Structure 1
Amino acid sequence: MYPIKSPKKLIETSLPLDAINEAAAREKSIRHGHPSTLHLWWARRPLAAARAVIFAQMVNDPGYERHLGRGVNKDKAHLERERLFEILRKLVQWENTNNEDVLEQAREEIRKSWRETCALNKGHPQAAELFNPDKLPAFHDPFAGGGALPLEAQRLGLESYASDLNPVAVLINKAMIEIPPKFAGRPPIGPEIAVDKGTKKQATRDAFEEWSGAKGLAEDVRRYGAWMREEAFKRIGHLYPQVDLPKEHGGGKATVIAWLWARTVKSPNPAFSHVDVPLVSTFVLSSKAGKEVYVEPIIEGDSYRFEVRTGKPSPSAAAGTTAGKRAAFICLLSKSPIDYNYIRAEGKAGRMGQKLLVIVAEGAKGRVYLPPCEPHASILEQVQPDWIPNLNLPNNPRDFKTPNYGMNKFGDLFTTRQLVALTTFSDLVQEARLKAIVDAKRAGMTDDKIGVDEAGLGATAYGDALAVYLNMAVSKLSDSSNTIVTWKPSMVQAIHMFTKQAIPMTWDFVEPNIFGNAMGDYFVTLSNMMRVLKNEISVRVGATVLQQDAATQKISINKVVSTDPPYYDNIGYADLSDFFYVWLRRALRPVYPNLFATMAVPKDEELVATPYRHGSKEKAEKFFLDGMTEAMHRLAEQAHPAFPTTIYYAFKQSDTTDIGTGNTGWETFLEAVIKAGFSISGTWPMRTELANRMIGSGTNALASSIVLVCRKRAADAPTISRRDFLRELKEELAEAVDVMIGGAEGISPVAPVDLAQAVIGPGMAIFSKYTAVLEADGKAMTVHSALMLINRMLTEGGDTFDADTQFCLGWFDEQGWSAGDFGKADVLARAKGTSVKGVHEAGVVESGSGKVRLLRPSEYPSDWTPANDNRVPIWEACHHLIRVLSQTGETSAGVLLAHCHEKVEPIRQLAYRLYTLCERKKWADDARAYNELIISWPAIVAASHESETGYSGLQAGLDL
């Protein structure tokens, strides 16, 4: 077989992780205009991370010629790598998402690397097919999900292909990357609608000097969306009456923002069994300082009513009618307990109702809270929807709680008024589509009568495209128009249902006004969505989106692949997305008949280890492993051979076990990747949570996801014995760890909190390049065993440290800061080439009464100077630095480090190793100390270089 010359890519050597992680974490707080606001999808990867990974996956590492057996100038490679890092640092910034200067610089680097690769393979028999220097390879993501990766590939200039089994994911991707380029640069054709009663919130005109990109498409969606809202108000506006304001609030009529309801059950007390008593989690409406508002229940015999009060609520008001987690609720009238078993029985018997708690209206000076009144209190009983989504909720007790209370169908999650509103808007989508087709023809657009599903570009396809966005707004609106929506007193606003990847049970819920010009209003929802379409969507390159099973697809052939597959059992995408599917299918089946052919989202082939679906945990794990192996095998065989494949894996939780950091899903996923024929050449921790959550209480939070960098394993890869594997691991892993913590010039260091995950890369690179690692009995080593050995190498290394430090490491691993028997300490000290007396004289242990204890940094003497100490183990210097850093800061620590200049690198290596050890043992406070030293290391080193006053400066600082 003719070999392909594939230069190592930047992602296979180094990344500016700090910059990528910082940008990814910051992106979590950005909402307006972010593509995630187009439609909800679970566990999206940050755009910054996706953009950085694809760029680094396609750009040649400056030292690649060395990997091809050629000489290379290291200084030149270092400077070139830093130049690429600088491009990456700019590229990941949110402000540069659509900065054409920055993007074009990145695109040119991709094209340059591609031309270099093509030149290296000029004589290859498949050069015409695989290495056309004038055309970049296309991109494919076979688990497209929310579409972040295909979108960023398109932004970087690649023809993008996205596929997914889930039709909701397919539609989201079509809306983001496939439809906009088809209609780019066209002016809007819809008639402008006059501003309603002078309020600017209803304006449909959003004029631009030019209609580049998808701006015209976005404006038309707004115009037809405004028409839909106006038509809907004519039909159902009477279901959303205004409310009379009392004189103290200015009098007159006011628009209702939301109605707050409480679920009710019959009182379990026989004396009040005819009364529907409320189940209320809290009576507090606003907890903002100085603006506190709450509801007070007024009991009158065997009835009750609600009044609104201002001022700080009592503890009983804050608790509502709850009685603790186990006791559930109490009867408002009789004070009898109402346990969950009773509530479940009432719900399943169809006797659960709702009672209006309060009306929230828009007053002249802000929010006004009003007690229930007619017709608002009884309006739900007078409404009957023409259509109800009667699809059954899944029997998935982990993620779906409402079936426990008799709410078994998706239609049960809505009030009658919400169902009428959503079906009305759903019906209007097709009316708006037909209206748009007529208007497009009138504006001069030709019509081939071919729909957007069949690659049409005329008036019919344009009407279809508008219908997609108009109905996605209905689907998105359902997330904030259901009875799982809650009221948050600290924010005085409604909170949509999907705050987590589950449908919980709620007791008091919010019904936003669908015409209220606030959260829950159709046009507000649509307008926010269109910020994405007009500002953030790339239309430079076309895209194709298909519904395909990743285990059988053939789209990846000769394409660059980066993908974000399901994470074992973390999220049941198919079950959850049925909530949206019922509304999308209702209006868009005529547009995409094949995509919405089934009654529900396909589930049997979904690669999620769901025990309830497969009958047991073991069967679910086997299904996941077999299916993911097949999907990964497709990628290993089909992906373009000149590029590594990048695969994301998100950790559900951190488990500290004998293999360090990991979980069953992680091991199973790695096994699938390796079994499929991939060799893992790198693992990069991508941190997408806020920095202050890096270390939590009692445990250390991990990077949100790991990016695996994979190459197809050679067909003739040999086997290796366990002994030889350990020898190779010991030789190469130590060097790899040194590089990761900053031991190599031009390599961005990995933070200590991420080291245990990052080191999996070089470790698994050794393991996975062989067909098998054979144990002594001839059986193949498991991924679990390999991970255990890699972690052991990381935590038990340290041959380069002095004997005293090696003893301290071992004793710390066994005892922590606690005292241990002298006899055990003596044996360990002799084994490490030192003595208990020696480490005591070094000033790092306390020894007496048959016990030995390591001194904490706070116990070290404050007048210590290395110049006057003739025995300074690395351990001692490291912990003195921790003491000084915590007491007087980075500058003083830098002064101290200047006097330990020969120990700089070993001190940092020890801090990393101790952090890893503490993580494994769940010693969070100690881990934090070592992590803070590493995080501050650049500033400490800089301060050490600037130090001119010597150790006297440190003393002065300490005296302060």
Structure 2
Amino acid sequence: MIPIKTPKKLIEVALPLDAINAAAAREKSIRHGHPSTLHLWWARRPLAAARAVIFAQMVNDPGYERHLGRGVNKEKASLERERLFKIIEELVLWENTNNEEVLERARAEIRRSWRETCALNRNHPQAAELFNPDKLPAFHDPFAGGGAIPLEAQRLGLESHASDLNPVAVTINKAMIEIPPRFAGRKPVGPLPKGEKQTLLMEDWPGARGLAEDVRRYGAWMRAEAEQRVGHLYPKITVTAEMAAERSDLKPLVGQSLTVIAWLWARTVRSPNPAFSHVEVPLASTFVLSSKAGKEAYVQPVVDGDRYRFTVKVGTPPESAKNGTKLSRGANFRCLMSDTPIEPRYIKAEGIAGRMCAKLMAIVAEGARGRVYLSPIAEHEQRAASAQPAWRPETQLPDDPRNFWTLNYGLSKFGDLFTSRQLVALTTFSDLVQEAIEKCRQDALAAGIADDGAGLDGGGSGATAYAQAVGVYLGLIASKATMFINSLSRWRAGEGKTAPAFGRQAIAMVWDFADVNPFAGAGGDFQGVVDGGAKALAA
């Protein structure tokens, strides 16, 4: 067997690690246009590092002995190595992710090294098959995960192939690597969202920008259509004189209807104290709504006999508000009515018995000068309770209490992680994906795109396949929206916004949660998820 001659690669000798590390660290703070915003995936690899490593793996080190026994001038090799380092230092910058001039210099070096390798192996019996100087070797990643490595291989000019065992990872990789080249250069076919003006008719749509624009347009259509269908479940709140009687900050807002950003709920169980066993008491980890300087707000429970209600106050929260009804770490709380300790085993038993409920604690609305925190009103609680989902996921969560903490508290099915209102909204968005695909197909036909009858999985590139391609991204967007539209999202008092469910690589138990309004134009709004996905695709 004739051995293959493999020149020593740049990665085996040296790398400009400081530049790579700095670019990779900076990339963590970049969200708009980053592929990671398309959909959540664990352990994302920095694009900068992937790009640099692939380049250094493909490019020959200048110092290897090219002519059988002849040494290489070390000084010359060092200068050449520095030149390659300069390419890497430019290559890893986020601003150069799609800089064709920088990318083409990198591709040229890869092609040059490959031709050199082919020349070394020209006498190999399989040279025609394995060492074609005009065709770069293909890149294969069998466990591609979030797809950073095969994506960057494609960007550097290699034919990229990615696979994974997880269907979410497979879909992400198809969306980032396989689909965009098939529809590159296409103009968008969808109508502009209502209220937007037409741009230049001869606008250029290089790469996947046309496809990304259609994802944005049909995503906007989905949001508008969903609001028409289920928007009544997400009412505005009108500030009344009664509300402002004890809140001077509300007086300028009397009579105004404010858009609700989120409804803040606390889970409840029946009091373990026999005297109040008929009362569902809150399990609140905090009563603080806003800790921003000058904009502090908190919930103040008012106990009246065997009843209680929540009121919202502004100003510096008292020390007692910081921990709500929580006594210590874990599921350790106190009864709001009697101060009786509520032990974890009692809460678990109540949850498993199906007796864990939720009570509206506060309403967060959008005012002219920022967030407005309001006391709960019965109408809004009743509106949420009126939602009747036509479908509820009955699939059991994995039997893994270490990573799925909700199991211990009776939330054992996927459907248990959502309120009825949230299920109605998410089902509506999911149904609209299919409707958007058909709408896109009709619009594509009207725009003159022929229908070859083949779908996306059949290698098609006509109207049907294009509409299905748009549907892939809309499906990912609808899926990503569940990160906010669930009963495990927290309210961040320090930032005045909702934190998505996955604060860690686990399904953690959340005692007081933020029920976001997907039509509010704030964090968790469906259009925000759409725009993020479209920008990631366009980039």
CA spacing shift, 1:374–1:205, aligned 2, 3 Å:
farther
Q: Which consecutive unaligned segments of at least 5 residues does structure 2 have?
A: 241-249
Deviation at 1:381, TM superposition (A): 2.2
Answering whether residue 463 of structure 2 is matched by residue 469 of structure 1, we say: no
Give deviations 1:288-339, integer Å, cap 9, x for gaps.
1121111111111111111111111122100110001267100011100001
Q: Which amino acid aligns with 2:150?
A: P
Cα distance 1:64–1:369, how it changes in 2: closer, same or farther (>3 A)? same
TM-aligned CA deviation for residue 437 of structure 1: 0.8
The reply to whether residue 342 of structure 1 matches residue 339 of structure 2 is no
Alignment of 1:423-822 (within 5 A): 423-534=427-538, 536=539
CA offset digits 1:790-836 (Å, max 9, x no partner): xxxxxxxxxxxxxxxxxxxxxxxxxxxxxxxxxxxxxxxxxxxxxxx
- Higher RCO (Cα < 8 Å, 6 or more apart): 2
Q: Render the CA deviation track for 1:215-238: whole Å, top value 9, x for unaligned.
A: 111111111111111111111111
Counterpart in 2 of 1:311?
315
Partner of 1:382: 386
Specify the alignment match of 2:216 in structure 1: 222
Contact 1:141 1:161 in 2 (8 A): yes
**AA matched with 1:453:** D
Show the counterpart of 2:245.
none
What amino acid maps onto 2:285 in structure 1?
S
In the alignment, the residues of structure 1 paired with residue 329 and residue 276 of structure 2 have an alpha-carbon distance, to the nearest angstrom, of: 24
Q: Distance in 1 between matches of 2:287 and 2:336?
A: 12
CA contact (8 A) 1:23 1:92 kept: yes
- Of 349, 357, 362, which residue of structure 2 is paired with 1:353? 357
Q: 2:253 aligns with which of 246, 250, 254?
A: 250
Distance 2:116 2:401 in 1: 54
- SS of equivalent residue, structure 1 residue 319: coil
Task: Note if contact 1:204-1:223 (Cα within 8 Å) is conserved in structure 2.
Answer: no
Deviation at 1:154, TM superposition (A): 0.7
Deviations, residues 501-557 of structure 1 (Å, cap 9, x unaligned): 1110000000110111112211121011111111x2xxxxxxxxxxxxxxxxxxxxx
Do the aligned partners of residues 84 and 240 (structure 1) sit closer, same or farther apart at CA in structure 2, a change above 3 Å counting? Answer: same
The match for 1:293 is: 297
Q: Specify the alignment match of 2:153 in structure 1.
A: 153
2:267 and 2:359 in contact (8 A); partners too: yes
Q: Is the 8 A contact 1:283 1:320 kept in 2?
A: yes
- Structure 2 CA distance, aligned partners of 1:215 and 1:66? 44
Aligned structure 1 segments of 4 or more residues deviating by more than 2 angstroms? 66-70, 203-209, 378-381
Q: Is the 8 A contact 1:258 1:359 kept in 2?
A: yes
Q: 1:249 to 1:411 in 2, by over 3 A?
A: farther
CA contact (8 A) 2:385 2:421 kept: no
Deviation of residue 397 (structure 1)? 2.0
The equivalent of 1:71 in structure 2 is 71
Matched, 1:396 2:400: yes
- Give 2:308's aligned amino acid: Y
- Cα deviation, residue 68, structure 1: 5.6
Flag the 1:205–1:317 CA change in 2: closer, same or farther, 3 A. Answer: farther
Equivalent position of 2:191 in the other structure: 191
Instruction: Please give the alpha-carbon distance, in whole angstroms, between the structure 2 residues aligned to 1:77 and 1:485.
Output: 56
Amino acid at match of 1:28: K
User: Aligned-pair distance for 1:66?
Assistant: 6.6
Q: How far 1:70 moved relative to its partner?
A: 2.9
Q: Which residue does 1:103 correspond to in 2?
A: 103
Distance, in Å, in 2 between the alignment partners of 1:278 and 1:205 is 52
1:67 and 1:85 map into 2 onto residues whose CA distance is 24
Residue 274 of structure 2 is matched in structure 1 by: 270
Q: 1:504 to 1:433 in 2, by over 3 A?
A: same
Secondary structure of 2:453's aligned partner = coil
Q: Which residue of 2 aligns with 1:839?
A: none
* Conserved 8 A contact 2:331-2:347: no
Q: Give the whole-Å Cα distance in 2 for the aligned partners of 1:151 and 1:357.
A: 45
Name the CA distance, whole Å, in 1 between partners of 2:259 and 2:128: 66
Structure (1/2) with the larger helix percentage: 1
> What corresponds to 1:411 in structure 2?
415
Distance 2:364 2:507 in 1: 25
Q: Contact 1:262–1:280 (CA<8 Å) still a contact in 2?
A: yes
1:234 correspondence with 2:228? yes
Q: Any residues of structure 2 matched to 1:28-67 within 5 Å, and which?
A: 28-65=28-65
One-letter amino acid of the structure 2 residue matched with residue 214 of structure 1: A
Alignment correspondent of 2:136: 136
Give the AA of the match of 1:435. Answer: K
Distance change in 2, residues 1:501/1:327 (3 Å): closer
**2:283 match:** 279
Q: Following TM superposition, by how much is the alpha carbon of 1:378 offset from its aligned partner in structure 2, in angstroms?
A: 2.2
Query: Aligned partners of 1:5 and 1:184: how far apart in 2?
Result: 38
- Give me the TM-score of the superposition, normalised by structure 2: 0.96
- Structure 1 residues 184 and 204, CA gap change in structure 2 (3 angstroms): farther
How much has 1:365 moved relative to structure 2? 1.5
Change (3 A) 1:444 1:522: same
- Contact kept, 8 Å, 1:258 with 1:361, in 2: the verdict is yes
Task: Note if contact 1:142-1:164 (Cα within 8 Å) is conserved in structure 2.
Answer: yes
1:69 deviates by: 3.6
- Matches of 1:351 and 1:67, distance apart in 2: 79
Listed one character per residue, the Cα deviations across residues 104-153 of structure 1 (whole Å, up to 9, x for unaligned) are: 11111101100110111111111111111111111111111111001100
Match of 2:24 in 1: 24
Shift of 1:168: 0.6
Three-state SS of the structure 2 residue aligned to 1:164 is: coil
Number of aligned residue pairs: give it: 528
Q: Assess if the C-alpha contact under 8 Å between 1:277 and 1:331 holds in 2.
A: yes
How far does the alpha carbon of each residue in 1:161-217 deviate from its partner, in whole angstroms, 9 at most, with x for none? Answer: 00011111000011111111111111111122322xxxxxxx486778311111111
Give the residue type in structure 2 aligned to 1:250: L
Q: Looking at CA atoms only, which structure, 1 or 2, has the larger radius of gyration?
A: 1
TM-score (norm 1): 0.54
Distance 1:193 1:113 in 2: 49
What is the distance in 1 between the residues matched to 2:497 and 2:64?
Answer: 55
Unaligned runs of 5+ in 1: 196-202, 537-960
Partner Cα separation in structure 2 for residue 327 and residue 467 of structure 1: 42
Letter in 1 for 2:476: M
Read off the aligned partner of 2:424 and give its amino acid letter.
V
**What is the SS of the residue equivalent to 1:359?**
strand
Query: 2:484·2:516 contact (CA, 8 Å) conserved in 1?
Result: yes
1:365 to 364, 369, 379: 369
Query: Which deviations, in whole Å up to 9, do the C-alpha atoms of 1:857-877 show, x marking residues without a partner?
Result: xxxxxxxxxxxxxxxxxxxxx
Q: Distance in 2 between matches of 1:56 and 1:294?
A: 55
Distance change in 2, residues 1:249/1:180 (3 Å): farther
SS of the residue corresponding to residue 428 of structure 2 reads: helix
Given residue 477 of structure 1, which amino acid in structure 2 is its aligned partner? A
CA deviations 1:585-637 (Å, max 9, x no partner) are: xxxxxxxxxxxxxxxxxxxxxxxxxxxxxxxxxxxxxxxxxxxxxxxxxxxxx
SS of the residue 2:214 aligns to: helix
Aligned-partner SS, 1:305:
strand
Q: CA RMSD in A?
A: 1.4
- 2:269–2:281 CA contact under 8 A, matched in 1: yes
Partner of 2:89: 89
Conserved 8 A contact 1:232-1:424: yes
User: Is residue 204–residue 226 contact of structure 1 (8 Å, CA) maintained in 2?
Assistant: no
